Amino acid sequence: MFLQHLHLQSFRNYQHQSVAFSAPKTILLGDNAQGKSNLLEAVELLATLKSHRTSRDRDLVQEGSATGHIKAQLKRELGTNELNLVLRKSGRRAVIRNGETLKRQQDFLGSLNAVQFSSLDLDLVRGGPGERRVWIDTLLTQLEPIYAYILQQYNQVLKQRNAFIKQHTAEEDGKPLDATQMALWDAQLATAGTRVIRRRARGLDRLIPLAQSWHQAISGDAEKLVIAYEPNVPLTEPPTADLSENAPTIIQQTFLEKIQSRAVAEYHQRTSLVGPHRDDIAFSINQTPARQYGSQGQQRTLVLALKLAELELIEAVIGEPPLLLLDDVLAELDLKRQNQLLETIEDRFQTLITTTHLGAFDARWLRESQILTVHKGSLSGDAL
């Protein structure tokens, strides 16, 4: 897919800005705080309806405006998509595709696919489990937009169950929770949670071999990467075992048993302790956890391998190459890894790259790229 045109209006520090993308690679060049990442963020929002920098639309709308717009023209194999995302300070969004306002925002997902790679992604390895859950959830949402519903349902049940536990442990100090009501919440949590677990397991099953082979290609045979899904409720069947979502499964049974075994702890801690909101993904290199012991270089290689695997997997599932958004990362990679990345991208994946200086770039790359200068929320360069 190819993003042909982007128009930002009252978005972050852009007042009115149109961009026509004219090459497979676009370099956004500018000093700090000029709007480079903001532009990538706009594309990320079209892909995921989320920004990794904020969860509040009022941060995205330009100061002094009530409404912000991100409009895009995207060429896909089956035709051109006009995408339009309207953000409001008040919070209510509108999503419009080819002139039609979509009733359910999640139906917009899948319109544009993108893999984001920023220096923040090192937190994937170094950070806590929450970072890794957001990562796999974002990827799954792009692979199968229905996952957004599945996750939302789970989070809703989780929130309600937590509220129930809190309310009742406060009111009936010392008394056990209403067993019938609690059993209903348990069942709902296990049903919704099992769907999340299976999707995560299936997605990782496909991603892991790709990431491993990339990792081997980048690091040489000396390093062996192992990635393991660590679900809070243990997987008791292969992820491909039973694909019908509603069939009662062994995982669901295990889920309920684990809830039982943690009932007392949940009562005292007044929150849900069992479920995929406590999942993790473990990365290890040569049998050593990458999180604690990996060197900076090893962690970068690992994240690069994950990102390349994401690109490949999305392309395989969607049938078209996704966009790649590189925010400040090229300069962080050594020349060998830079070249590895660039060779993989070739002209297949449309790539938007931000940088504060061109010095680190390969001359061949510079010749083939569209270079846009970003200054105080305004772009200048060829083809604008």
Ligand X SMILES: Nc1ncnc2c1ncn2[C@@H]1O[C@H](COP(=O)(O)OP(=O)(O)OP(=O)(O)O)[C@@H](O)[C@H]1O
Which C-beta is closer to ligand X: that of 61 or that of 218? 61
For residue 56, the minimal CB distance to ligand X (Å) is 10
Query: Which region, judged by CB under 6 A, interacts with ligand X, from 59-67, 119-127, 222-230, 259-267?
Result: 59-67
Alpha carbon distances (Å) from 378 to 5, 38, 218, 373? 15, 11, 37, 8
- CA 107 to centroid of chain Cα atoms: 17
Tell me the site size for ligand X, rule CB under 6 A: 18
Which C-beta is closer to ligand X: that of 43 or that of 251? 43
Query: Which region, judged by CB under 6 A, interacts with ligand X, from 29-37, 99-107, 178-186, 191-199?
Result: 29-37
**Per CB under 6 A, 36 contacts ligand X:** yes
Question: From ligand X, Mg ion, none, which one binds at residue 35 (CB under 5 to 8 Å depending on kind)?
Answer: ligand X
For residue 305, the minimal CB distance to ligand X (Å) is 24
Residue choice 13, 299, 301, 370 for contact with ligand X (CB under 6 A): 13
Residue choice 7, 12, 199, 277 for contact with ligand X (CB under 6 A): 12
Between residue 295 and residue 334, which ones bind ligand X under the rule CB under 6 A?
Answer: 328
Burial class, 58, CB count within 10 angstroms (exposed 0-12 / middle 13-18 / buried 19+)? middle
Residue choice 38, 84, 301, 338 for contact with ligand X (CB under 6 A): 38
Query: Which region, judged by CB under 6 A, interacts with ligand X, from 57-65, 126-134, 166-174, 360-368?
Result: 57-65
Residue choice 16, 33, 80, 319 for contact with ligand X (CB under 6 A): 33
Residues whose CB falls within 8 Å of the CB of residue 34, separated by 6 or more in sequence, listed in order = 13, 374, 375, 376, 377
DSSP string, 42-104: HHHHHHHS--SS-S-HHHHBPTT-SEEEEEEEEEETTEEEEEEEEEETTS--EEEETTEEPSS
Which C-beta is closer to ligand X: that of 68 or that of 322? 68
Residue choice 216, 356, 373, 378 for contact with ligand X (CB under 6 A): 356
Cα–Cα dist 13/329, whole Å: 22
Cα–Cα dist 349/345, whole Å: 5
Residue choice 17, 37, 138, 350 for contact with Mg ion (CB under 5 A): 37
Residues whose CB falls within 8 Å of the CB of residue 247, separated by 6 or more in sequence, listed in order = none
Question: From Mg ion, ligand X, none, which one binds at residue 12 (CB under 5 to 8 Å depending on kind)?
Answer: ligand X
Residues whose CB falls within 8 Å of the CB of residue 375, separated by 6 or more in sequence, listed in order = 30, 31, 34
**Per CB under 6 A, 203 contacts ligand X:** no
Closest CA to 158 of 293, 63, 236, 266: 266
Cα–Cα dist 136/281, whole Å: 9
Which C-beta is closer to Mg ion: that of 36 or that of 52? 36
Residue 126 DSSP class: H
Which C-beta is closer to ligand X: that of 49 or that of 374? 374
Cα–Cα dist 26/368, whole Å: 9
Query: Which region, judged by CB under 6 A, interacts with ligand X, from 30-38, 160-168, 224-232, 276-284?
Result: 30-38
The rounded radius of gyration (Å) of the Cα atoms in the chain is 22
For residue 113, the minimal CB distance to ligand X (Å) is 22
Quick one: residue 75, left, alpha or beta (phi over 0 = left, psi -120 to 50 = alpha)? beta
**Per CB under 6 A, 26 contacts ligand X:** no
Cα–Cα dist 121/207, whole Å: 17
For residue 60, the minimal CB distance to ligand X (Å) is 6
Kindly tell me the sign of the dihedral angle through the C-alpha atoms of 69, 350, 206, 298.
negative
**Per CB under 5 A, 344 contacts Mg ion:** no
**Per CB under 6 A, 34 contacts ligand X:** yes
Interface residues toward Mg ion, by CB under 5 A? 36-37
Would you tell me which residues interact with ligand X (CB under 6 A)? 12-13, 30, 32-38, 59, 61-63, 328, 354, 356, 374
